Structure 1
Amino acid sequence: MVFGRDSESGSPRYGSGGMSRIIGGSPLGVIVRLALLCVIVGLVLDQLHLDAFELFRWAMDALEDLIRNSADVLKLIGRYFLIGAMVVIPVWIVLRVLRVGSGRR
């Protein structure tokens, strides 16, 4: 219940509902805090001569570089995996065959 009574003080409790728990407080209070934060961040970014679209473009370029570089890393890891598997798998098979042949498990 959003407007319930606190059992200890008898005062109304605001923000005890599901929506208030999800967003972190009363909806109006959260909207006011977010609006104030947006104005402050906008002012700081403007003073630093940073454009939101430029920041977005930078983030997209960084994500693109990350994907491109991670593909190269995955290729390298795959290559190392295949080279190692060419040695490890036959050795493992030989050891399993020898272990089964000796009667141990």
Structure 2
Amino acid sequence: MSDTGLSRFLGGSPAQVVLRLVFLSFVVGIILAALNLDPLDLVHMAVDFVERLWNMGFHALGRLGNYLVIGSIVVLPIWLIMRLLAMGRQR
């Protein structure tokens, strides 16, 4: 019973999940190395981003709102077109 629960939680057998994660880790490692990125640099960038947001205070919330609006101007029409095309294929 615990094996099926564990498999359901992991999304497959533990061995398959471990192999998939090892493969994906290898591929992501190659990509990061090709881009000359260090995972610790990514962590530092994320921490610096949060610190800048904290230091900017409520002004940062307004900027985040602006980013949301700007992004939605691009994302929502693309999503709507994809949904309409998917509906057309189902009929």
Structure number with larger C-alpha Rg: 1
1:53 aligns with 2:40: yes
Percent of residue pairs bearing the same amino acid type: 39
Distance 1:53 1:46 in 2: 13
* Structure 1: runs of 5+ lacking an equivalent: 3-14, 74-105
Distance 2:13 2:53 in 1: 39
- Report the RMSD for the aligned CA atoms in angstroms: 2.0
* Structure 2: runs of 5+ lacking an equivalent: 60-91
Which of structures 1 and 2 has the larger relative contact order (alpha carbons within 8 angstroms, sep 6+)? 1
Could you tell me the TM-score, scaled by structure 1's length? 0.51
3-state SS, counterpart of residue 49 of structure 1: coil
Q: Deviations over 1:27-82 (max 9, x none)?
A: 0000000000000000000001011111111011011122233x335xxxxxxxxx
Higher helix share: 2
Could you tell me the TM-score, scaled by structure 2's length? 0.58
Distance 2:28 2:37 in 1: 11
Distance 2:48 2:20 in 1: 31
Kindly tell me the number of residue pairs found equivalent between the two proteins.
60
Aligned to 2:18: 31
